[in-house]
C-alpha cells in the first residue's frame, strides 16, 4: 500500500528554498564586519574566529576589495552535539569609492579579527581654502575657517576709512 502525502513536494520545495536563502547569507554570518571612518582613513574589522591566519587573503582588483578566509572542519571522528559555526571557504567583497588611496591599504590579523585600514586619498581630504578680502585699496587675507564678523583694528580702520 502506498501513502499519498499532498504536502510532501511542497515541504521539499520549501526546504530547498530556505537552504538556498541561508547559503546566500552564510558569508555574512561567517564573516560579520564593522566599517567606520576615523579621521583620514576608513577602518574595516572582520570577525574570523577559528580561521587559520595563513588562509586569510585580502586583495584589490580595480575598485573591489575582496576578503577570503578558510575555516577547516574539525576531526571526522567526532560526534557533534551542536555545530553552529560554518566551515569552508568564505569571501566578502566591497566596492571602494574613488576617494581612497588603494596603494596604501594595510591589513592585520590579531585575536581572530582582521583589520583593514583604507586611507583617504590626499586629493579627497577636506582642506581649507584661503579667502582674500579687499577693503578699499588694501587687501586683507583671511581664512574660510575664521569667525564671521570679527574684524581686527587694522581691518576695521581700512573698512571705515
List the chain pLDDT tens, one digit each, 161 residues. 556 566 666 666 677 666 655 554 555 567 899 999 998 899 999 999 988 899 999 999 999 999 999 988 887 788 888 888 888 888 999 998 888 899 999 999 999 999 999 998 877 666 788 888 888 655 555 544 444 444 444 343 344 44
Cell 536563502 belongs to 21
Do 135 and 149 lie in one domain? The reply is yes
Do 70 and 34 lie in one domain? The reply is yes
Asked if residue 89 is part of any domain, the answer here is: yes
Do 45 and 100 lie in one domain? The reply is yes
Do 92 and 151 lie in one domain? The reply is no
Do 135 and 119 lie in one domain? The reply is no
Asked if residue 11 is part of any domain, the answer here is: no
Do 114 and 99 lie in one domain? The reply is yes
Do 118 and 139 lie in one domain? The reply is no
Do 69 and 148 lie in one domain? The reply is no
How many domains would you assign to the chain?
Answer: 2
Do 134 and 112 lie in one domain? The reply is no
Residue 137: its pLDDT value, please? 59
CA angle (51, 19, 87) in 5-degree steps: 15
Residue 118: its pLDDT value, please? 93
Asked if residue 13 is part of any domain, the answer here is: no
Strand partners, 113: 47, 110
Residue 149: its pLDDT value, please? 42
Residue 108: its pLDDT value, please? 95
Q: Which residues contact 42 (CB under 8 A, 6 or more apart)?
A: 35, 36, 100, 117, 118, 120
Residue 144: its pLDDT value, please? 47
Task: Please indicate, yes or no, whether the overall pTM of this predicted structure exceeds 0.85.
Answer: no
Amino acid at each position: 500500500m502506498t501513502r499519498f502525502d499532498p504536502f510532501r513536494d511542497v515541504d521539499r520545495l520549501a526546504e530547498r528554498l530556505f537552504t538556498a536563502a541561508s547559503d546566500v547569507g552564510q558569508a555574512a554570518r561567517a564573516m560579520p564586519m564593522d566599517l567606520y571612518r576615523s579621521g583620514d582613513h576608513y577602518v574595516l574589522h572582520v570577525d574570523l574566529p577559528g580561521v587559520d591566519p595563513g588562509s586569510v587573503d585580502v586583495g584589490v582588483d580595480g575598485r573591489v576589495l575582496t576578503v577570503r578566509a578558510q575555516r577547516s572542519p574539525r576531526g571526522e571522528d567526532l560526534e557533534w552535539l551542536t555545530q553552529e559555526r560554518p566551515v569552508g571557504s568564505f569571501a566578502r567583497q566591497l566596492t571602494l569609492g574613488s576617494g581612497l588611496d588603494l596603494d596604501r591599504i594595510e591589513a592585520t590579523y590579531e585575536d581572530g579579527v582582521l583589520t583593514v585600514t583604507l586611507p583617504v586619498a590626499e586629493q579627497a581630504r577636506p582642506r581649507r581654502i584661503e579667502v582674500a578680502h579687499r577693503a578699499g585699496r588694501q587687501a586683507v587675507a583671511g581664512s574660510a575657517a575664521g569667525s564671521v564678523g570679527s574684524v581686527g583694528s587694522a581691518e576695521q580702520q581700512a573698512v571705515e576709512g
